[in-house]
Structure formats: structure tokens, C-alpha cells
Amino acid sequence: MSAIESFIERVTTASKANSKELRIQIADAQALMVELAIMGTRNSALSDQVIKLQEDIIIAQKKTTQPKPESEEISIEMDGGNF
């Protein structure tokens, strides 16, 4: 069981027993701290990747989307025939 899961279980159990405090050993606190730091780092890296992908999408959309002209010019030439 991970340190986070263990901590959640301990908090839930203490809460159900109407405890006012929860004691934690330094080793358990350090393990919890390490897991939370890893999660924070991964979330930050993932967030950076999402932002980069969004920027790439915006650039690609700008390159492929061409503005429509307000008015189109049409050239019609008569070849001398009758209608």
C-alpha cells in the first residue's frame, strides 16, 4: 500500500472514531512527502505538455485556416453566342 493510501486509511479510521488528532511517525511522513512531491512533479510536467500541445494546435489551425475574402471577383466573357 502506498504512503498516500495508508495515510488516507489512517485519517478515515481516526475520523470514524471521532479522534481529534492523528500521530504519524517521521518515516511515514517522509514517505508521504516523497510521494506527494513525485505527484506534484508529474502533474507539473503533464501540465507543461498540455500547454505545448495547445500551442501547437493553435499554430496548426492558423496555418491551415485561410481567411475568406469579403467579396469574390468573377470574370465573365461572352464568346459572341446568343442566349
Structure confidence by residue, pLDDT tens digits, 46-59: 999 999 999 999 98
The answer to whether residue 78 is domain-embedded is no
Residue located via cell numbers 464568346: 79
Segments forming the whole domain that contains residue 30: 3-64
Whole-number mean pLDDT of the chain? 87
pLDDT tens readout for residues 56-82: 999 888 888 766 666 677 777 777 666
| Domain-embedded: residue 70 | no
Identify the pLDDT of residue 83: 56
Q: What pTM does this model have?
A: 0.56
C-alpha 17/C-alpha 5 separation (Å) is: 18
Helix, coil or strand: residue 79: coil
Residue 21 lies in a domain: yes
User: Which residues 6+ apart lie within 8 Å of 11 measured at CB?
Assistant: 22
The rounded radius of gyration (Å) of the Cα atoms in the chain is 32
Q: pLDDT tens digit string along 9-56? A: 999 999 999 999 999 999 999 999 999 999 999 999 899 999 999 999
